[in-house]
Structure 1
């Protein structure tokens, strides 16, 4: 089923806000959690903007 929305923006973020997704993650002073440097850089959070025409 389709919702009929038009995707305008899809933003990927290399961190998660307030959510430690796995044990080795490091917390920044801004409460963002980043994977350790030896883990490949994958998006951990997405921002989406869509509109209904």
Structure 2
């Protein structure tokens, strides 16, 4: 799971290729993407460091 806030990425003056938000390694692939609407009560409590476990 990768969460990436994109609110500060300008939608004006983008070339046809758009913006690179994340680069994957040659042997990696993104298998799905989902838009999550931001809410007032969003916190970083659900963010887990690599190798950690969610509560």
User: Is this a same-fold pair by TM over 0.5?
Assistant: no
Q: Which structure has more RCO (C-alpha within 8 Å, separation ≥ 6)?
A: 1
As a proportion of its length, which structure holds more strand? 1
TM bucket, shorter chain: under 0.3
When the two structures are superposed, what TM-score results if normalisation uses the length of structure 1?
0.22
